[in-house]
A and B are shown apart, each in its own frame.
Chain A
């Protein structure tokens, strides 16, 4: 069985703060509006769907209790449509799509929606903190350090300088601004409306076009405090080749904190015929992997190779690469390791410019890549994300 992508939509990304445009919109409301838009623009008979999987990196509070099912009912989908919640940290949104695809591939379902949501302004970071960060026995034994320390470890080990990461950030801003100016995201964006039906946000709010290396140079390193409180010692225990950790990451070259949601409609060929929909692409392969958990950000290369192998392909088959910009050093290492030229990766910018609504990002960037393959008339794209505690996910899509 093949798993086809029929459509995808996303919300714009609002600043993940109380003054962000999406702060008054609940997580379930974001997903509900997307489900509604997806149904309406495709004239979709929702009884043809088997499952909706919505992931989030904080499945607690308003995002808990299988938000997917609540959104399905809220959007007025057929009550036979099931719902599921998953959590694989930042990789969640892509994983949700892959899990729908896997069910379609196996022939057990005909169609479903996978995606993610995160209202970072409405949930408190750390709400779902678990044993891996905070049970002393687990965290100490596994050399846990906060993710930003991992990003700075990569920079230290690879000799990536503050200038390198800041230049990378400036480039992300430039590409994102260019993509917005030229309407590359137009097809996927569903403006979010308030209770009165008025649009509260129709663009990515976090971007700072015109950012320069000079303007970034004023920002103080964000993770030195963690380092000095003990996590630099953790880093050295794990990587004794580090004399001093070089703290190069800050808010301007790390992924932005934002609110948002993205979903992808995946189904079999038969579903497409029944629904009267034309497939836009298909999901060729997907993979998950674990990597060294102290840095926790180096899985993308290994998991990409795994997905490429699973798809029976080689690196050369990939036309566009998309790696979530968790931190600048993550992409820089990946690019060097996979030998990817600048013009083939994150071509429309990434989370440094537009923000990273944790659980939602994977679904969003899959959509971005599909749109861009269509715009450039290319075939194949690889989407990957690093995730906390060393996890990583990748998926390969191609046009049909």
Chain B
């Protein structure tokens, strides 16, 4: 047993200690299960052992399953094999439960997913009284369900209502709430945890669970003849619609609880295992886990950091420009313990930028999320100024001044006159080519793009842009800074709009183009939301103002002239701006009306300006949104703007809210299968234009049967929610 330690004691109460030999966190893996199977056998056979205290030698009790192992199941395991896989862990828990000896889980730290399922299999649970010791079953967040008894035992212990609340939200709860919900039996101070466990064992508790007593009747055996129960499931099913129709996990969880509570215990476990197997062999769980967990962690741990460059740390940062972006960057930097010089054209403007931090902190203090002294210290780290001289000694500059090449060039020169020759100079531009901005720099190899997203304190993604001359060291140091901020970096190469802005344009232009085709505005918005976009394209345009995408178009026309084809929604945007004069929310209204104190609603004049025509097909609209963005992403990979599929996927999900069930724009293509994707895109191109036309490069990949991720099996067509 490498991951478990069994310690006997004179009183017959053995302690079984979870202690992963390979990692700092206990996880459910094949090796762990094998150890536990062995330990359970030993314990059952040893007459000297009268009871078991299960605890952990790590800070946490146990995290969930090893997602890296789970994600490999897709495309390799058949449904039957996936079921067998789930049944092994299920049997492990069952063996504990039916060992004939009482087990008490002394939960000394967080217990999530498989960790909490293990605790649920024990006969009694004592949770350490520590706010960090949260318990819960968050599997829904990765497209799965707790498949080794989690839905069944939680339903039986906490009742359907509480169980569904926890399982469908995936939220974890602290000790006080866990006790209130009866999902733990006691809460105890850390130093009393083991004693209390021992005390419970010495009451000679019955090691037979109630569901193993002959004559036990499942709590919802009467099924739908109990109106309160059937009404509860009706309402719960309705609430699933709020989560959208693209994620099978919530539905599987609801069905598992509904069916499980009507069945004998072991049948319920089997039904749960079958639902788990379906999810595990579905591309959606694979997509979510791969991008939002594995690729995200890898990016944060430096997947794209050049090897061999010594680790660096930013102690002092200069933020140039105290507007919305600069203010946010100053806040997140100060929050990471970095000294910030926040510079703007005059001190009041710079101070206004700092006031943003004050505002954010005020809200956090109100919610009790930060102590006053810590907030004060954070604020003290930000120095608002108009004096470039204060930039002396900075390790890194983030320039966030007005998006104008001339202004940026002047700012660059003024800053470089003061800052150390070793400092990295980063521009937060979202549209201007980095290589062009770098022309103003004396040290173009130290010049890089660090593109934050708004609002900076809430958006986790940072797009790092390599100019033509940007060096490896600058990249490494930019990534080190982003790691200090605990954000998720992707690395792209210089090009108009880089990656995220460029592909995001496809979404808003597609929406605007549909309006011109005669698709009702509500349908456009609902179709985008139906595929999982958080906000409809017309609502997005109102927030952005149509000026912004039009500026990009005009710039391209100025640079490329006739060679440039304006994107699909250009005409509609120009009409909104020039003729209809409804450019944005800020300017009084756009595609929507914004009644004072009321809820926004689509502008009634839209149908008159863009007459509705029959014949739209919502499934095709949904497909267009996904395909337009995925196709442009493929072009970014082909052109070398993107270098990895992981960057593409992370950027799309965390940059502009591409739906996570797809795994991101590139995972989406792999999920559909490149060959199918190309075929569908061809037919869209015929109907809607060359933006959907696959390139020779993509056709070649399709012909060769390739995928972007190695060994990526396309999903069987009938299993794709939106193909």
| B side interface size, CB within 8 A | 32
CA gap between A237 and B235 in the complex, in Å: 17
A-facing mask of B223-244, CB < 8 A → 1, else 0? 0110100110111111111100
B-facing mask of A128-167, CB < 8 A → 1, else 0? 0111011111011000111000000000000000000000
Instruction: Among B230, B239, B521, find the residue whose CB has the most chain A CB atoms closer than 10 A.
Output: B230
A-facing mask of B505-532, CB < 8 A → 1, else 0? 0000000000000001111011100100
Name the contact of B527 in the complex, choosing from A131, A134, A233, A240 (C-beta under 8 A): A240
Q: Are A134 and B239 in contact (CB under 8 A)?
A: no
Q: Which of A45-53, A241-249, A297-305 contacts B (4 or more CB under 8 A)?
A: A241-249
Name the contact of A134 in the complex, choosing from B224, B520, B525 (C-beta under 8 A): B224
Task: Determine whether A226 belongs to the interface, using a CB cutoff of 8 Å to chain B.
Answer: yes
CA gap between A125 and B224 in the complex, in Å: 12
Q: Are A233 and B231 in contact (CB under 8 A)?
A: no
Task: Determine whether A313 belongs to the interface, using a CB cutoff of 8 Å to chain B.
Answer: no
**Which B residues lie within 8 Å of A125 (CB)?**
227
Task: Determine whether A280 belongs to the interface, using a CB cutoff of 8 Å to chain B.
Answer: no
Q: Are B227 and A242 in contact (CB under 8 A)?
A: no
Q: Are A129 and B523 in contact (CB under 8 A)?
A: no
**Which A residues lie within 8 Å of B254 (CB)?**
136, 140
Q: Are A241 and B523 in contact (CB under 8 A)?
A: yes
CA gap between A278 and B698 in the complex, in Å: 81
Nearest residue (CB) in B for A225 is: B235
Q: Are A60 and B231 in contact (CB under 8 A)?
A: no
B-facing mask of A91-133, CB < 8 A → 1, else 0? 0000000000000000000000000000000001111011101
B-facing mask of A38-74, CB < 8 A → 1, else 0? 0000000000000000000000100000000000000
Nearest residue (CB) in B for A239 is: B526
Provided the pairs A127-B225, A136-B255 are in contact, do residues A243 and B601 lie with their beta carbons within 8 angstroms?
yes
Nearest residue (CB) in B for A60 is: B225
**Which B residues lie within 8 Å of A139 (CB)?**
233-234, 237-238
Task: Determine whether A230 belongs to the interface, using a CB cutoff of 8 Å to chain B.
Answer: yes
Q: Are B230 and A126 in contact (CB under 8 A)?
A: yes
Q: Are B230 and A243 in contact (CB under 8 A)?
A: no
A175 to chain B, nearest CB (A): 34
**Which B residues lie within 8 Å of A124 (CB)?**
227
**Which A residues lie within 8 Å of B530 (CB)?**
237, 240
CA gap between A131 and B255 in the complex, in Å: 12
**Which B residues lie within 8 Å of A243 (CB)?**
521-522, 525-526, 601-602
Task: Determine whether B402 belongs to the interface, using a CB cutoff of 8 Å to chain A.
Answer: no
B-facing mask of A223-263, CB < 8 A → 1, else 0? 00010011101101100111110000000000000000000
CA gap between A31 and B111 in the complex, in Å: 60
Q: Are B526 and A240 in contact (CB under 8 A)?
A: yes
Q: Are B522 and A229 in contact (CB under 8 A)?
A: no
Provided the pairs A241-B520, A242-B522 are in contact, do residues A144 and B237 lie with their beta carbons within 8 angstroms?
yes
CA gap between A57 and B227 in the complex, in Å: 15
Task: Determine whether B39 belongs to the interface, using a CB cutoff of 8 Å to chain A.
Answer: no
Q: Are B233 and A135 in contact (CB under 8 A)?
A: yes
CA gap between A2 and B308 in the complex, in Å: 96
CA gap between A129 and B520 in the complex, in Å: 37
**Which B residues lie within 8 Å of A129 (CB)?**
224, 227, 230-231, 234
CA gap between A123 and B156 in the complex, in Å: 29
B-facing mask of A199-242, CB < 8 A → 1, else 0? 00000000000000000000000000010011101101100111
**Which A residues lie within 8 Å of B245 (CB)?**
237
> Which residues in chain B, 226-282, are within 8 Å of chain A measured between CB atoms?
227, 230-231, 233-242, 245, 251, 254-255, 258
B570 to chain A, nearest CB (A): 25
> Which residues in chain B, 196-233, are within 8 Å of chain A measured between CB atoms?
224-225, 227, 230-231, 233
CA gap between A126 and B521 in the complex, in Å: 38
CA gap between A229 and B239 in the complex, in Å: 6
Q: Are A230 and B239 in contact (CB under 8 A)?
A: yes
CB-based closest 5 A-B pairs: A233-B241, A126-B227, A240-B526, A230-B238, A230-B239
28 contacts between A and B (CB under 8 A): A124-B227, A127-B225, A127-B227, A129-B224, A129-B230, A129-B234, A133-B234, A134-B224, A134-B230, A134-B231, A134-B233, A134-B237, A135-B224, A135-B255, A136-B236, A136-B237, A140-B237, A140-B241, A144-B238, A226-B238, A230-B239, A237-B530, A240-B527, A240-B530, A240-B618, A243-B522, A243-B525, A243-B602
A234-B241, A243-B526 are known contacts; what are 11 more A-B pairs with Cβ within 8 Å? A124-B227, A133-B230, A135-B224, A136-B237, A137-B255, A146-B234, A229-B235, A231-B241, A240-B523, A240-B527, A243-B522
